[in-house]
């Protein structure tokens, strides 16, 4: 029995999951994962072959065409999704443990995410029973019209390393509620929780072939999925650079894409805001998952008259935040995913200083040489044309830009190719509503950040992606609309 408060004695080895069953490693290679916070090997997953991917796609297509899932009643789909939610909660400690070891995020965050993931399955179960189309009784006495929704087909699902389980939960139950079938490829860094989810779904009664997991690298397995002509839809979450490659590769069969890409998300703070609340929210929004979060509020846009006071509050919060061992329940900020990523993040700090920004706090690595922690960092005196203000850093680096008017704040916020999320801090309702309407972001928070649940859709504006996940919209995303005209009575013949 694994002690979830201690490191494992040996790496946990996984097979992969096809057609409702585990497939052993065989002669394939292992991909080993080293815990970014502890420097020890924690998991091994299979480096699948392109033939394994073909087997997964064939299993999914066979399941879809059989109607074993695509044609069953919504109530039956809902029943499986509800059992899956129960299965997640029953194994919460186990999933959170391996999620923390692979990602480096705090165990408290992992536990919260796993619990939140179960909520998505429960919500999607309700949508599965209420999904509907339209009827048109206004086409005259001799015609009725109907619009139905039906599942698109086989979905290729590529998920990232930073939120491997919650991002999975923001997609799988909605795809399944629509009646689709799935071939998933998790990140090679963080595959464990996806493989555990395959087991949970099978035990919940999901028919074989409906959810398949192929593990491996993006360069071979991921690329082949984007090009595959028998995958009808591709859902990809990751960087904007890879997203562009996915878009080009999808031309193989003009497959539909659902893309959630990068974010350079503004936190706009007006002078009338509760600055103590704003400072706490900004620190949380920046340091959640050590800044390795696509909706991280890393671009602080603050009214000039309160910039000095807010900086003091931020530095105090940074000094008191708890970095350390992610298995410690008191830890608030964990590790960078790889040494290479940590080096890249710290390189942005130096780049900001070279471009004229001031290092007001942090900016250094933290901890032993074998693990990857970065101090909470604040750069002030930043201009919106600096690299640190434009690029998605994906680390705990906050850039402060000052403004004088609402129009200027909105102009700075929107002056970026990305538009994933934004937060607005003010006690003036009119100001909040005017700013919210004008900011170009798919998710916008007022006097909070990184909040929400399964009810509302997620997705981005501009180059932050296309399509929407979660909510009713997240199920509709994976359906096709069919228009049906039904003639009534005797036909008036065209040929006399």
pLDDT along the chain (496 residues), means of 10: 90 98 97 95 98 98 98 98 98 98 97 98 98 96 97 98 98 98 98 98 98 97 96 96 92 93 97 98 97 97 98 98 95 95 96 98 80 93 97 97 98 98 98 98 98 96 96 97 97 92
> Which pLDDT score, from 0 to 100, does residue 368 have?
62
- Residue 347: both structure tokens together: 């390189």
Cα gap 342→290, rounded to integer Å = 11
Q: How far is CA 496 from the centre of its chain?
A: 61
* Pick from 481, 462, 475, 14: nearest CA to 260: 462
Cα gap 104→100, rounded to integer Å = 5
Beta-sheet strand order (sheet of 256-260): 21-23, 16-18, 211-213, 181-185, 154-158, 233-237, 256-260, 465-466
Residues near 112 by Cβ (< 8 Å), separated by ≥ 6?
none
Q: How far is CA 134 from the centre of its chain?
A: 31
> Residue 493 burial by CB count (10 A; 0-12/13-18/19+): exposed, middle or buried?
exposed
Looking only at the bridges linking them, the beta strands covering 41-46 and 30-34 are: antiparallel
Q: How far is CA 318 from the centre of its chain?
A: 26
> Which pLDDT score, from 0 to 100, does residue 496 have?
84
Own/partner long-range contacts of 142-146 (Cβ < 8 Å, ≥24 apart): 142/487, 142/488, 142/489, 143/485, 143/486, 143/487, 143/488, 144/485, 144/486, 144/488, 145/483, 145/484, 145/485, 145/486, 146/483, 146/484, 146/486
Catalytic residue status for 293? no
> Which pLDDT score, from 0 to 100, does residue 422 have?
98
Residue from 294, 303, 392, 440 carrying the catalytic annotation: 294
What interhelical angle do 192-203 and 74-90 show, nearest 10?
130
Cα gap 420→458, rounded to integer Å = 9
The answer to whether 289 touches 376, Cβ cutoff 8 Å, is no
Per DSSP, helices labelled H in 141-274 are 164-169, 172-178, 192-203, 223-227, 240-249
Catalytic residue status for 260? yes
The answer to whether 300 touches 399, Cβ cutoff 8 Å, is yes
The answer to whether 203 touches 24, Cβ cutoff 8 Å, is no
> Which pLDDT score, from 0 to 100, does residue 367 have?
73
* Pick from 394, 286, 399: nearest CA to 340: 394
Cα gap 424→446, rounded to integer Å = 5
Categorise residue 106: left if φ over 0, alpha if ψ from -120 to 50, beta otherwise: beta
Phi, psi dihedral angles at 155 (to 5 degrees): -110, 130
- Residue 36: both structure tokens together: 């970014």
Domains present along the chain, CATH in parentheses: 12-261+464-482 (3.40.605.10), 266-446 (3.40.309.10)
What interhelical angle do 92-103 and 107-130 show, nearest 10?
120
pTM of the entire structure?
Answer: 0.96
Residue from 99, 102, 260, 477 carrying the catalytic annotation: 260
> Which pLDDT score, from 0 to 100, does residue 370 have?
58
């Amino acid at each position: 029995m694994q002690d979830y408060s201690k490191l494992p004695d040996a790496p946990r080895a996984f097979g992969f999951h096809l057609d409702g069953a585990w497939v052993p490693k065989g002669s394939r290679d292992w991909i080993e994962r080293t815990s970014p916070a502890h420097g020890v090997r924690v998991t091994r997953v299979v480096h699948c072959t392109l033939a394994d991917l073909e087997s997964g796609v064939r299993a999914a297509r066979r399941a879809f065409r059989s109607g074993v899932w695509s044609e069953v009643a919504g109530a039956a789909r809902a029943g499986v999704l509800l059992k899956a939610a129960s299965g997640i909660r029953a194994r919460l400690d186990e999933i959170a443990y391996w999620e923390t070891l692979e990602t480096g995020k705090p165990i408290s965050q992992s536990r919260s995410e796993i619990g939140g993931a179960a909520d998505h399955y429960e919500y999607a179960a309700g949508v599965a029973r209420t999904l509907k189309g339209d009827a048109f009784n206004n086409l005259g006495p001799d015609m009725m019209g109907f619009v139905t929704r039906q599942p698109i087909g086989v979905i290729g699902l590529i998920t990232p390393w930073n939120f491997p389980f919650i991002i999975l939960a923001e997609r799988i139950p909605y795809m399944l509620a629509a009646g689709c079938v799935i071939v998933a490829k998790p990140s090679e860094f963080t595959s464990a929780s996806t493989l555990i989810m395959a087991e949970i779904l099978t035990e919940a009664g999901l028919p074989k072939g409906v959810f398949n997991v192929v593990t491996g690298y993006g360069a071979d397995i991921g690329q082949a999925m984007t090009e595959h002509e028998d995958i009808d839809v591709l859902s990809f979450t990751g960087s904007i650079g890879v997203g562009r490659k996915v878009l080009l590769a999808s031309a193989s069969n003009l497959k539909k894409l659902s893309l959630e890409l990068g974010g350079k998300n503004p936190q706009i703070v007006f002078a009338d805001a509760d600055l103590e609340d704003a400072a706490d929210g900004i620190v949380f929004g920046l340091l959640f998952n050590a800044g390795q979060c696509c909706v991280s509020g890393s671009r602080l846009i603050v009214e000039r008259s309160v910039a000095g006071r807010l900086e003091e509050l931020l530095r105090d919060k940074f000094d008191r935040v708890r970095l350390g061992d992610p298995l410690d329940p008191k830890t608030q900020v964990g590790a960078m995913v790889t040494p290479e990523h940590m080096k890249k993040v710290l390189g942005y700090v130096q780049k900001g200083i070279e471009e004229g920004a001031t290092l007001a706090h942090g900016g250094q690595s933290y901890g032993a040489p074998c693990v990857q922690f970065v101090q909470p960092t604040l750069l002030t005196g930043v201009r919106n044309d600096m690299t640190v203000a434009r690029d998605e850093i994906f680390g705990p680096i906050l850039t402060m830009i000052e403004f004088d008017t609402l129009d200027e704040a909105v102009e700075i916020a929107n002056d970026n190719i990305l538009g994933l999320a934004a937060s607005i801090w003010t006690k003036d309702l009119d100001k909040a509503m005017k700013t919210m309407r004008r900011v170009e972001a798919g998710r916008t928070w007022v006097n909070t950040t990184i909040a929400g649940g399964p009810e509302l859709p997620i997705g981005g504006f501009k180059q932050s992606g296309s399509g929407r996940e979660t909510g009713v919209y997240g199920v509709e995303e994976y359906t096709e609309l069919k228009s049906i005209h039904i003639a009534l009575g005797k036909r008036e013949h065209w040929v006399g």
